[in-house]
């Protein structure tokens, strides 16, 4: 089985890609993740990931780190909490 190397530059590639949502602790340790099809617009994946993490881990306070492309006005509403 051959591994895949994906570009993070946002360019088109012939290789398969995924969108990964990662939940980490305050110390940076990975706690959980969600994976989406790489052909799906990543702006649509952020809110479902956050909702899933909030419910599964009973979160009441968290920080979102994301690139600007997935922070359209709809996703920014979570900032106002």
**Is the residue at 23 inside a domain?**
yes
SS3 state of residue 8: coil
Number of domains in the chain: 1
Q: Is it the case that residue 79 has pLDDT exceeding 50?
A: yes
**Is the residue at 40 inside a domain?**
yes
SS3 state of residue 21: strand
The reply to whether the predicted model has a pTM over 0.75 is: no
User: What is the per-residue pLDDT across 8-31, written as a single tens digit (0 to 9) for each?
Assistant: 455 566 677 787 888 888 888 998
The pLDDT, as a whole number, for residue 55 is: 92
- Angle, CA 65 vertex, CA 8 and CA 29 arms, to 5°: 90
User: What is the per-residue pLDDT across 49-70, written as a single tens digit (0 to 9) for each?
Assistant: 888 888 988 988 888 777 776 6
**Is the residue at 43 inside a domain?**
yes
Closest CA to 20 of 61, 67, 60: 67
């Amino acid at each position: 089985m051959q591994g895949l190397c994906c570009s993070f530059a946002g360019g088109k590639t012939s290789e398969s890609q995924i969108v990964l949502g990662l939940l980490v602790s305050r110390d940076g340790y990975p706690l959980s993740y969600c994976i989406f099809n790489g052909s799906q617009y990543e702006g649509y994946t952020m809110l479902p990931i956050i909702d899933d993490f909030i419910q599964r881990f009973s979160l009441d306070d968290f920080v979102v780190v994301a690139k600007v492309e997935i922070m359209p006005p709809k996703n920014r509403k979570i900032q106002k909490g």
